[in-house]
Structure 1
Amino acid sequence: MEWLTGPFEAAFVQRALWGGILVSAICALAGTWVVLRGMAFLGDAMSHGLLPGVALAALLGGNLLLGALLSAAVITAGVTVLGRTPRLSQDTAIGLLFVGMLSLGVVLVSRSQSFAVDLTGFLFGDVLAVRATDLMLLGGALVLALTVSVLGHRAFTALAFDARKAHTLGLRPRLAHAVLLGLLALAIVASFHIVGTLLVLGLLIAPPAAALPWARSVRGVMALAALLGVTATFSGLLLSWHLGTAAGATVSFLAVCQFFLSHLVSGLLHRPVRTPGARPATTD
């Protein structure tokens, strides 16, 4: 028991655990739609596209979170506008925004005297440096994400499975898509300073993807994804304490391991059983 509970007696580890729990819940709400709609590339582009705003805020001595919000707003608007261009596929638009924003961010960060430190913190975060004010911000972000998810659940569901039917039902799929992008941006912005933009996709995609074989509804996927995220957070912090590894990376790695384990077990349980001596059916 001392091995399990000892690390969490430290106040900074307790804050890291609470931060990871809140991030897991936020990412479960947004990540479920990312997985259902196949928006992983957009999530990757948006997480790395935060760099220009963060770099600009650092150079001007401003709030990094506000800088990240600015970049997220630019990417969301860019994807929405370019996605309506008939001759330009959404993947192309996302790729162009991804490269453009990331390049601009590197240019801005290179103007800083602490280039390596700033970029490392941006990419990998520092979950053990979570402060009480960070927990308050994460709590507010969770409330906002939950509100958006509840109010937009019907539109998001229709959009995920049949955009044309969503339009027929008068659910305004374009608006729903824009709001969904905002929810994704909220999850990434709220989480990047905890686990970093390079690792946030681990909690955004892996838990919902791991929950898919076991849940029968969208709400079930969200609930199980949140539980898996919390489990990965607790286990990752515990292992990082005893093994001396990077906490955020350990959490994300365990979340990805959960995905592979989930689908492996699901595949074994749903494998068809063949009767000894039976021959496969043939058609003439």
Structure 2
Amino acid sequence: MEWLTGPFEVTFVQRALWGGVLVSLICALAGTWVVLRGMAFLGDAMSHGMLPGVALASLLGGNLLAGAAASAAAMALGVGALGRSPRLSQDTGIGLLFVGMLSLGVIVVSRSQSFAVDLTGFLFGDVLAVRESDLVQLLIALGIALAVSVLGHRPFVALAFDERKAHTLGLRPRLAHLALLGLLTLAIVASFHIVGTLLVFGLLIAPPATALPWARRIPMIMAGAACAGVSATFLGLLLSWHLGTAAGATIAAVAVLQFLLSTLAAGIRDRRTRLPEPTAPRP
């Protein structure tokens, strides 16, 4: 059993495991709503929309997390503002903001001759470099995400399935949508320095999509997503240690593999349940 427990006896791997677990829990809370509302493109756009803030913070010697938060907040506010326009579809507005923010980030990066290493960390993260202060920040982010999820559960449910009914019931769907954007922003900003912007999207989408075919209630989807994310973190770190691969990318790859296996198993289950009952043989 040394191959199973040996890697997690190392201090920095232990911190990476705890960091990945906390990220998985945060992403399970936000990602469930992203999957249910079909907001995957928005999640992808927001994760890349942080680049200008991170680039500016790096060039000015500021805090990268603060830069990412400011950029993601601007992206969320822009999405909310464009969403009110009756002449512009939400996907079009998100796509334009995505291209604009990404272009701005690349322009800022191009002004620096020594940003390549930082850009690599921004895209792919460094889960093995998690510090104790990072774990404290993730714990705080998890507490906020849990509070938002509990307080906003009823309007989020109504918004996910029937926005007009949510308005009829007085649940203020626009405010609920902004709160949901805030929850998504929190998850992305809190997680990007652990697994990177390209890979946080995997943990945000894959675990809830993995649990979706097997759960009938939203809390159960969240619980299943949390379990899938935690197991992906453990297996990803284990495989990364023994195979010498990038830890963050391996975690995300395991999460996507879990989704593929879950989809395959759900398809087999559905085909079996649709099979006709065998008829009795005739005499």
- Normalised by the length of structure 1, the TM-score is 0.96
Structure 1 vs Structure 2: percent identity of aligned residues?
Answer: 77
CA distance in 2, matches of 1:207, 1:244: 24
Distance across 1 between alignment mates of 2:266 and 2:134: 37
Which consecutive aligned stretches of 4+ in structure 1 deviate over 6 angstroms post-superposition?
A: none
C-alpha distance in 1 between matches for 2:121 and 2:101: 18
Quote the residue 1:281 is aligned against.
Answer: none
- Map of 1:148 onto structure 2: 148
* Deviation, structure 1 residue 116: 1.7
Equivalent-residue separation in structure 1 for 2:99 and 2:242 (angstroms): 38
Count of residues paired in the alignment: 278
- The alpha-carbon deviation at position 277 of structure 1 amounts to 7.9
Q: AA paired with 2:275?
A: V
How far, CA to CA, are the matches of 2:196 and 2:110 in structure 1? 19
- Counterpart of 1:13 in structure 2 is 13
Q: Which deviations, in whole Å up to 9, do the C-alpha atoms of 1:125-148 show, x marking residues without a partner?
A: 000000000000000000000000
Q: Which residue of 2 aligns with 1:158?
A: 158
Aligned counterparts of 1:31 and 1:62: Cα–Cα separation in 2: 29
Matched, 1:169 2:169: yes
Aligned to 2:59: 59
Deviation at 1:118, TM superposition (A): 1.6
Backbone CA RMSD of aligned residues: 1.1
1:192 aligns with 2:192: yes
Deviation at 1:207, TM superposition (A): 0.3
Q: Give distance in 1, aligned partners of 2:128 and 2:120.
A: 15
Conserved 8 A contact 1:21-1:229: yes
Aligned to 1:111: 111
CA distance in structure 1 between the aligned counterparts of 2:115 and 2:132, rounded to whole angstroms? 27
Post-superposition offset of 1:275: 5.2
| Letter aligned with residue 102 of structure 1 | L
The one-letter code sitting in structure 2 at the alignment partner of 1:3 is W
Name the CA distance, whole Å, in 1 between partners of 2:53 and 2:109. 10
What residue identity is the alignment partner of 1:121?
G
Kept in 2: contact 1:192–1:200 (CA 8 A): yes
- How many Å separate the matches in 2 of 1:103 and 1:181? 22
Corresponding position of 1:273: 275
Question: What pairs up with 1:70-109 in 2 under 5 angstroms?
Answer: 70-109=70-109
Separation of aligned partners in 1, 2:143 and 2:96 = 32
Deviation at 1:276, TM superposition (A): 6.1
Equivalent residue of 1:273, what SS?
coil
Map of 1:282 onto structure 2: none
Within 2, Cα distance between the matches of 1:275 and 1:154? 41
Per the TM alignment, residue 274 of structure 1 is displaced from its structure 2 partner at its CA by: 3.8
Given that 1:47 and 1:188 are in contact with CA atoms closer than 8 Å, whether structure 2 keeps it comes out as yes
User: Are the counterparts in 2 of residues 109 and 118 from structure 1 also a CA contact under 8 Å?
Assistant: no
Moved more, 131-140 or 266-275: 266-275
SS at match of 1:122: helix
Q: Which whole-Å CA distance do the structure 2 matches of 1:177 and 1:29 have between them?
A: 15
Match of 1:263 in 2: 263
Unmatched tracts of structure 1, length 5 or more: 279-284
| 111-120 or 97-106, which deviates more | 111-120
Q: Tell me the alpha carbon deviations over residues 204-257 of structure 1, each in whole angstroms, 9 at most, x when there is no partner.
A: 000000100111100000011001000000000000000000000000001011
CA distance in 2, matches of 1:110, 1:191: 25
2:43 maps to what in 1? 43
d(CA) in 2 for partners of 1:111, 1:137: 31
Unaligned runs of 5+ in 2: none
Q: Deviations along 1:68-116, whole A, 9 cap, x unmatched? A: 0000110011000011011111001000000000010011112222222
Counterpart residue number, 1:252: 252
Equivalent position of 2:208 in the other structure:
208
